[in-house]
């Protein structure tokens, strides 16, 4: 009996120890199962993101835009579903799980850490580029400032006022009456005839500009419009099916293509804005125009006046709009003329 009591005395502590050990095991394993967190993904050697500080116009302070770096395996970049700028621009409770918090000077984005001075340099480059882009967008596209000498300004202004009165008192009323008599379609056909007859002017200038495709197009236009366009009444060559547009070439443009500058501004009576270069070019173009050789001389002059009247009837209102929008109409016309001639020459030089 004494031996059995000793065995029971030894068994009870062993069972008690096993029970305590089992309870401890269940408690520990159950607690770890409830508190387990998924391990973060391995971080690659390349930086996961670049932080770019920009100014949001709708926010009161600068915000951070996180640009995802390309995936080294797939070659593509991950795109967050939500724009991180919206969280900073619209303060309030953030319900978007993928929105990135704003990054200040003392914090970093959770998507990855920058690698010291190298990433700081990248941030500086991005900031500089963004500032330059904002400056360009605010200032608009940069254009060349085109000017021309105007030593004859008193004479030119006097001729401007003369031409202005001539237009409003004589040319415009006659053109308006002319437009009431002839429908627009008829006047366009008359223009087409004049343009077709002046083919030698454009063809010769295409050759002088060493632009053989231009000369070929003008030749094709002249043949098509003369034969199938009934002597040029219809500009069939400009249709989409044929697609041979008119080549606007003149001798003043040709001189400019070969490096001759305009000189200075001249505003001729009746003829309007010009320059020494373009005045010589106009004289050369007149000599190449077959209508200028129609005898007698006053017949050729009448034809030229009729062409001018027809053109004016098709463009009534253009001069009025320019004059109304300008603070100084004389300066506006001079600058518009310089721009127009510059771009006509540049179109040819850019094709070479």
Mean pLDDT over the full length of the chain:
73
Distance CA 306, CA 174 (A): 11
CA angle 66, 69, 73 (to 5 degrees): 150
Q: Mean pLDDT across the stretch 275-292?
A: 97
**In which residue are the tokens 């109304």 written?**
324
Question: What confidence tens digit (pLDDT) does each residue in 175-199 have?
Answer: 999 999 999 999 999 999 999 999 9
Q: Which of helix, strand or coil describes residue 268?
A: strand
Higher pLDDT, 264 or 80: 264
Distance CA 105, CA 103 (A): 7
CB atoms < 10 A from the CB of 153, how many? 16
CB atoms < 10 A from the CB of 202, how many? 23
- Predicted TM-score (pTM) above 0.85: no
What is the separation of C-alpha 2 from the centre of its chain, rounded to a whole number of angstroms? Answer: 108
Higher pLDDT, 67 or 292: 292
Q: Mean pLDDT across the stretch 292-306?
A: 94
Question: What confidence tens digit (pLDDT) does each residue in 95-127 have?
Answer: 333 333 344 434 333 434 434 443 444 334 333
- Which helix (H) or strand (E) segment holds residue 307: the answer is helix 297-314
Percent of the chain with pLDDT over 90: 58
CB atoms < 10 A from the CB of 348, how many? 21
Where does the pLDDT of residue 352 fall: very low under 50, low under 70, confident under 90, or very high at 90 and above? confident
Question: What confidence tens digit (pLDDT) does each residue in 14-56 have?
Answer: 555 555 555 444 444 444 433 344 444 444 433 333 333 333 4
């Amino acid at each position: 009996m004494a031996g059995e009591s000793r065995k029971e005395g030894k068994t009870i502590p062993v069972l008690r120890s096993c029970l305590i050990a089992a309870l401890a095991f269940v408690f520990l394993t159950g607690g770890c199962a409830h508190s387990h967190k998924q391990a973060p993904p391995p971080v690659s050697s390349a930086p996961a993101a670049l932080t770019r500080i920009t100014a949001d116009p709708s926010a009161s302070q600068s915000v951070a835009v996180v640009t995802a770096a390309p995936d080294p395996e797939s070659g593509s970049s991950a795109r967050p579903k939500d724009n991180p700028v919206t969280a900073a621009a619209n303060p309030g409770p953030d319900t978007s799980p993928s929105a990135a918090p704003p990054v200040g000077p003392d914090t970093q984005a959770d998507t990855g850490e920058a690698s010291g001075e190298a990433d700081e340099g990248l941030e500086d480059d991005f900031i500089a580029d963004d500032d330059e882009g904002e400056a360009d967008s605010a200032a608009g596209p940069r254009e060349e400032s085109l000017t021309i000498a105007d030593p004859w300004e008193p004479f030119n202004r006097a001729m401007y006022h003369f031409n202005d009165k001539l237009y409003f008192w004589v040319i415009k009323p006659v053109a308006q009456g002319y437009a009431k008599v002839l429908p627009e379609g008829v006047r366009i056909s008359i223009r087409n005839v004049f343009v077709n007859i002046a083919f030698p002017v454009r063809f010769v200038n295409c050759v002088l500009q060493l632009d053989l495709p231009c000369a070929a197009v003008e030749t094709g236009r002249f043949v098509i419009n003369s034969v199938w366009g009934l002597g040029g009444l219809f500009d069939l060559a400009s249709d989409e099916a044929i697609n041979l547009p008119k080549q606007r070439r003149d001798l003043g443009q040709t001189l400019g293509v070969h490096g001759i500058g305009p000189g200075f501004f001249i505003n001729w009576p009746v003829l309007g804005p010009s320059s020494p270069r373009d005045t010589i070019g106009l004289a050369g173009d007149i000599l190449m125009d077959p209508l200028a050789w129609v005898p007698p001389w006053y017949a050729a002059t009448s034809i030229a006046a009729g062409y001018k009247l027809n053109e004016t009837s098709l463009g009534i209102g253009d001069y009025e709009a320019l004059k109304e929008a300008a603070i100084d109409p004389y300066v506006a016309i001079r600058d518009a003329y310089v721009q127009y001639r510059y771009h006509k020459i540049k179109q040819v030089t850019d094709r070479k």
